[in-house]
Amino acid sequence: MTAAAAEPGLLELWPTPLGVHRWARAEQVNPLLARVLGSLRAVAQAQAADGAAPAGFFASDDDLLQRIRLPEWQDLVRFIVDSLHATVLHANRGAWPQPAPALQVHLRGMWFQVANQGASHDVHTHGNCSWSGVYCVQVDEHARRIADPLFGERNGVTRFYGPRFAQLGGAHVDLGNAYLQSAHVDFAPLPGQLIVFPSWLAHQAMAYRGERDRIIVSFNASVHAAHGGDQLHGYAAA
Ligand SMILES: [Fe+2]
């Protein structure tokens, strides 16, 4: 959009795209996936040289795509790719030429994490990709999860920090900038839920404690034109 095209009024600029998806097969397949991932964890920890892995946290290598050969796993990967495609298409609807180009979605890495006993994953972003995602395989059911006396509603949620969070650094608060104060959002863990988010978006897995382990699958992806290059605009001459 050019400034000359703006009409008088309020512009709400630069929203943050984030896609929420639910896998219809989750209830049927997630218990199997939890067992498979548990086996991979046991193998990895048995092979660990120091044998001193923390009991409440585990993160696998990012080679799950190559490691798991199950039709149910392929179904999950297909759901993830289709969901990514839908979110990326929607997020870029004003930026891509129409009709939208044919796409290739490349999963650049996929891994899983297991947390319990108050383990967390501190604030971070993902690099060398444009989109990332987190799929919930297993967690305590809602009422039990939020009944934790220490963590309560925050127990095991995924917290995203929007771009406005960085603007809070000056700590000046008055009614005029109250719109800045909702700078983060928490997503309750829900088995079968997939959140697709821009890789630059800061996030963290809050501490979790429960009867069941919190198990999530994460991934990084890049999205390319199926034919030709990805560049939409030529470089202007200096
Ligand atoms: Fe992450």
**Tokens standing for residue 237:** 């001459």
Q: How much distance in Å is there from the Cα of 178 to the middle of ligand 1?
A: 28
What share of the chain in percent tops pLDDT 70?
Answer: 92
Candidate ranges 40-44, 174-178, 188-192; pick with highest mean pLDDT: 188-192
CA of 50 relative to ligand 1 center, distance in Å: 25
Give 101's pLDDT tier (boundaries 50, 70, 90): confident
Give the Å distance between the CA of 219 and the centre of ligand 1.
8
Distance 61 CA to ligand 1 centre (A): 14
- Residue 125 CA to ligand 1 center (angstroms) comes to 6
Assigned token pair, 207: 């501490």
pLDDT surpasses 90 at 51: no
Q: Ligand 1 mean position to 126 CA, how many Å?
A: 6
User: How many angstroms does the Cα of residue 6 sit away from the middle of ligand 1?
Assistant: 37
Query: What's the CA-to-centroid distance between 216 and ligand 1, angstroms?
Result: 10
| Distance in angstroms (rounded) separating the CA atoms of residues 129 and 219 | 10
Centre of ligand 1 to C-alpha 167, Å, is 22
What distance in angstroms lies between residue 10's CA and the mean position of ligand 1's atoms? 34
| Nearest by Cα to 221 from 87, 136, 141, 105 | 105
- pLDDT (tens digit, 9 = 90+) per residue, 142-174? 999 999 999 999 999 999 999 988 877 666 788
pLDDT at site 100? 82
d(CA 70, CA 227) in angstroms, rounded, equals 30
Q: Distance, CA 158 to ligand 1 centroid (Å)?
A: 9
- Half-sphere exposure (Cβ direction) of 38: Cα atoms closer than 13 Å: 11
What's the CA-to-centroid distance between 17 and ligand 1, angstroms?
A: 16
Mean pLDDT, the chain, whole residue set: 91
* CATH class of segment(s) 21-48+56-170+179-225: mainly beta
- Tell me, in angstroms, the distance from the centre of ligand 1 to residue 213's CA: 18
CA distance 64 to 217: 9
Q: Is 44 exposed, middle or buried (0-12, 13-18, 19+ CB in 10 A)?
A: middle
Rounded to an integer, what is the distance from CA 128 to the centroid of its chain? Answer: 15
